[in-house]
């Protein structure tokens, strides 16, 4: 089977709840930040949410993007680590229901979860327990599936662990071996403080398509203005997709800057906005759209996902809607 994209990343089930700023302050975590926690701490937080409606779905940064590609009608495979528990079986069935190929066998341990607390200003505070997803290694990858893909998509979160970092590098190595393009997302500004030099080396080397937001781009380049950041990154990577929140995005290709306007929406939850944007770009580029057309699809998709709760589109794009982007 041929795939548009082969994703490599954490396999984490998202548990989302909308709460007040007062409750978030009482819980005691920094607003808008992802914090790694133990499962016991997660349990205490979930107990404090009694009476608040919660939603859950298969998550993880790269897996959100892969799910989005499948939602658009693309073909995708994913390498992530899951335990043989209720959460792991839920994550697997949720992704397979979308048509995503996931062949990694269920292991022993606890599957990863992320409690996502969403305040009224649409900011999300994530309390993540990686569980067995932190043990993803090179042996969990499928060379056959990578060779059958147009892109390999790697998330920056993998660089926080030795085995997951090794899996990321192995995926990139196999992609280059089989002439498959490599897309990389920085994932989170805090990662740049830890791995800036390593990320820059990747961006200047095997990475073909870089995804990042403005805060990440500023940390990587030391520049301030969006165009300056994007152009400096474009000196390193062949293609750059830089998201600017409500100001849209910039795509750089062949020394040209392609501005993409934002989709006007009232944001409810920013969880997965960048992941869905990446899904639109990757689906478009692997299914005949130009960079500009893919950018417009990505912008529309990101706008749609932030206007709802959760990182998975509750109102999916119809095939007719997706096809219209080819005429832009």
pLDDT (0 to 100) of residue 165: 97
In tens, the pLDDT along 99-145 reads 999 988 899 999 999 998 988 888 888 898 999 999 999 999 999 99
Backbone phi, psi, residue 283, to 5°: -60, -45
Q: What percent of the chain has pLDDT over 90?
A: 67
201: CB partners within 8 A, 6+ apart: none
What distance in Å separates the CA atoms of residue 190 and residue 263, rounded to the nearest whole number? 27
In tens, the pLDDT along 262-319 reads 888 888 777 778 999 999 999 999 999 999 999 999 999 999 988 887 777 878 888 8
What distance in Å separates the CA atoms of residue 263 and residue 10, rounded to the nearest whole number? 29
What pTM was computed for the model? 0.91
Residue 52 binned pLDDT confidence (cut-offs 50, 70, 90): confident
Strands annotated E in 45-138: 54-59, 76-79, 101-102, 112-118, 124-129
Q: Where do the domains of the chain lie, and which CATH numbers do they carry?
A: 3-10+61-109+133-327 (3.40.1190.20)
**Nearest-10 crossing angle of helices 291-306, 273-286:** 150
Cα dist from 18 to 71, 125, 309, whole Å: 25, 10, 8
In tens, the pLDDT along 177-203 reads 999 999 999 988 889 989 999 999 999
């Amino acid at each position: 089977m041929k795939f548009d994209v082969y994703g490599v990343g954490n396999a984490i089930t998202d548990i989302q709840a909308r709460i007040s700023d007062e409750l978030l302050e009482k819980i005691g975590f920094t607003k808008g930040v992802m914090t790694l926690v133990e499962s016991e701490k997660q349990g205490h937080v979930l107990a404090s949410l009694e009476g608040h409606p919660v939603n859950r779905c298969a998550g993880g940064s790269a897996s959100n993007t892969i799910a989005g590609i499948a939602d658009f009608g693309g073909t995708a495979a994913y390498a992530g680590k899951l335990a043989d528990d209720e959460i792991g079986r839920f994550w697997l069935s949720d992704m397979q229901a979308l048509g995503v190929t996931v062949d990694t066998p269920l292991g022993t341990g606890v599957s990863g979860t992320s409690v996502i607390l969403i305040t009224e200003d649409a900011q999300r505070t994530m309390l993540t327990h990686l569980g067995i997803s932190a043990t993803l290694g090179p042996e969990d990858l499928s060379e056959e599936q990578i060779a059958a893909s147009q892109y390999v998509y790697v998330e920056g979160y993998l660089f926080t662990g030795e085995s997951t970092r090794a899996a990321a590098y192995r995926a990139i190595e196999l992609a280059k071996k089989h002439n498959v393009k490599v897309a990389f997302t920085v994932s989170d500004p805090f990662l740049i403080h830890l791995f800036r030099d390593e990320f820059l080396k990747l961006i200047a080397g095997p990475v073909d398509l870089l995804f990042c937001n403005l805060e990440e781009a500023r940390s990587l380049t030391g520049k301030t203005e969006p165009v300056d950041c994007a152009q400096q990154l474009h000196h390193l990577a062949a293609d750059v997709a830089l998201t600017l929140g409500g100001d849209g995005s910039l795509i750089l290709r062949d020394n040209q800057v392609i501005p993409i306007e934002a989709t006007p929406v009232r944001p409810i939850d920013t969880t997965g906005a960048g992941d869905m944007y990446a899904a639109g770009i990757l689906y478009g580029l692997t299914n005949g759209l130009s960079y500009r057309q893919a950018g417009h699809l990505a912008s529309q998709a990101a706008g749609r996902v932030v206007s709802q709760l959760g990182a998975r589109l509750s109102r999916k794009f119809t095939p007719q809607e997706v096809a219209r982007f080819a005429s832009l």
